[in-house]
Structure 1
Amino acid sequence: MSGHSKWATIKHKKGALDAKRGKIFTRLIKEITIAARAGGGDPDGNPRLRTAIAAAKAENMPADNIKRGIQRGTGEIPGLQYEEISFEGYGPGGVAVIVDCTTDNRNRAVSEIRHAFSKNGGNLGEPNSVRFMFSKKGVIAIAKEAANEEQLMNIVLEAGGDDLNDEGENWEIITEPSAYEAVAQAVKDAKIETVMSEVTMIASTYTKLEGATAAQMLRLLDALEDHDDVQNVYSNFDMDANQLEEIAG
């Protein structure tokens, strides 16, 4: 994926989510609850919970909300029992899509995610039909004016990052998931502001779409992102940045 369209896509996604602030909090609370249930309520011994709490704090979530999310996960206070489900499928133009859900009703989630795909020119696939195209990585993006290449390369080498890429207006640090926390903390300690910082799925190849097919793919992504059970959507979709802004506008 060309750097220009990648960052335009991220900006589009972030703008859509920022417009639904309450939805961000809901997703983060679900992740905190699931993480605490799976690995216990002590973030020092639970890396997934530690990452979830850091993401919640980055969105200025109140400490009481975080505490309650942990307590629901550990069973200290009652709450819904969530189940994690991952869907794989294809969007318009054969684009690969992975959808991670956290739901209290599996049958409803399966039915509604299937409907979102079929209504927007896609279809669900079998497990592992597209996952092989993606790798889990830590990604930390930094605006060019916030830091220089030498400064960031030193952080990558000293903190255990994998690579530093030039992505047009931004630098992009890539890490293994196990090294993400250390590298993210090193960036924070250096007082360098980030454009984005998360563990995500990166595609090995990208499919470029144009015109009506690209517009239909954006509608599918928006439909999935709008669903209450959806935590994350990953795809190998690429399009021209100018067209993306035109459609989004």
Structure 2
Amino acid sequence: MIATPYALPYAVHHSPLPVMGLGRDVFVTLWFSNEISVEGTKSVEALITTFFHLAGSGALAGAAIEPWDSTVFSVDFVGGAASNATWKLSNVRVDERSIPILAQLFLITHSDFPIIKIAISNGPTDQTLVALPAIDEDRDIYPTIFTKQVSRVGISPDLSADVIVVVHFASDPTLPQREAIRLKIEDWIAASAIGCYPAPPHRPDFCNLEYDGALDFFEAELQIGFRNFYCHREALYGLCNSLFAVKDEAPEVMRIVIT
């Protein structure tokens, strides 16, 4: 089920599933209470760009899509009139549970530029939209780990606010390969810190994690530490997918342990 654990203050509708997983274009339209401003447009575009980078990291692959093939090609402002604006995300190939992530992000914009409704669709004229439901559960909300690799992941059931990630590669990554790994990880970090994986009842902009910029490689092992990790636990599923997404750019990831 695709749903949000938040009682969103604006309506959210999307095209009948699948919307996000077939490599098609997806249109995101927002209607505001007042005439849209330059500042409001910039706020929305910054959040859609955050989602774009998260998708590009492979984090949103979910159970069925290969993380190394999961992405959004581009984001373009289509236009708007008076109180609405539309953006096109091209060649979207992410898990359908990315819909709540995108919908919830706009709570950040809503604080300063009240939103009435949002449509996430396969075309601006789609007349078959369905409502995104809200549920009380806050588990199984966000894209999970790619099924074919999930056996390589161990996540402690008792995580604290200080999280340690240890990654074992098939061989010692070269310097260019380490840079490719860093780019994937830091796209996930930036998006998580902005609010892509909020945990109810906290708002997306409450989300945070501290990262000192250090990727500690010990031959074929990588260690990363995050302090003050205040994101939903399922954000770590996205990190695992981002690490698996380096398949064509770095040695194979053999094991991920998160404590």
TM-score bucket (shorter structure): under 0.3
Please, what TM-score do these two structures have when normalized by structure 2?
Answer: 0.24
Task: Give TM-score scaled by structure 1 length.
Answer: 0.25
Using CA pairs under 8 Å that are at least 6 residues apart, name the structure with larger relative contact order, 1 or 2.
2
Which is richer in helix? 1
